[in-house]
Structure 1
Amino acid sequence: MAVSDALLKWYDVHAREMPWRVGPADRAAGVLPDPYRVWLSEVMLQQTTVAAVRDYFHRFTARWPTVLDLAAAPDADVMGEWAGLGYYARARNLLKCARVVAYEHDGRFPDSYEGLLELPGIGPYTAAAVAAIAFDRAETVLDGNVERVMARLHDVHVPLPEAKPMLKDHAERHTPLTRPGDHAQAVMDLGATICTPRSPACGICPVIEHCAARRAGTAAELPKKSPKKPKPTRYGHAYLARLPDGSLVLERRAEKGLLGGMLGWPGSDWSDAPSTEPPFDAEWREIAGEVRHTFTHFHLILRLYGAELPEEAAPEGYEIIGKHAFRPSDLPTVMRKAYALWRDA
Structure 2
Amino acid sequence: MSTAHETAAGLPESSVPLLVASGLRFRVGDAVAIGPIDLAVSAGQSLGIVGETGSGKSLLCRTLVGMLDGVGGAIDSGSLVIGGTELAGASSRAWVDLRRSVIGFVPQASLSGLNPVRRVSAHLDETLRVQGVDDRAARRARSLELLREVRMRDPERVLRSYGHELSGGMRQRVMLALALAGDPRILVADEPTTALDATVQREVLNLVKDVQRERNMAVVTVSHDMRVVRRTCDFVAVMYAGRVIEAGPADQVLSRPSHPYTRALLAADPALVPRGAPLSAIPGSPRQPHAWRDGTCSFMERCAFSTDICGQAEPDLEQRLGDQSVACHHAQEVARA
| Larger CA Rg, structure 1 vs 2 | 1
Structure with more of its chain in strand, by fraction: 2
Structure with more of its chain in helix, by fraction: 1
With the length of structure 1 as denominator, give the TM-score of the two structures: 0.27
- Larger RCO (CA under 8 A, 6+ residues apart): 2
